[in-house]
Amino acid sequence: MVALHGFEHDRVPPRTSLDADVLVNVRIIQDGTQQVSRVLLDMGFVFLGVNRKG
């Protein structure tokens, strides 16, 4: 969201990133996070767990 806000105001991001963010409005799609997780797993992504950096 910070990057989107910056792009709206013609700001150049300070660094590039290889990660991605996914937003789900769970007020509209109550199981939205489960749906996104299922799609990512079906595409072959693997959850490696949580570490100190997130």
Residue 23 vs residues 10, 19: alpha-carbon distances, Å = 22, 14
Does the pTM exceed 0.85? no
pLDDT, tens digit (0-9, with 9 covering 90-100), for 10-51: 888 777 777 778 889 999 999 999 999 999 999 999 988 888
Q: At 33, which amino acid appears?
A: T
- The residue behind tokens 């996914």 is 22
Of 14, 19, 22, 18, which Cα lies nearest the Cα of 39? Answer: 22
How far apart are the C-alpha atoms of 22 and 7, rounded to whole Å? Answer: 17
All structural domains of the chain with their residue ranges: 16-47
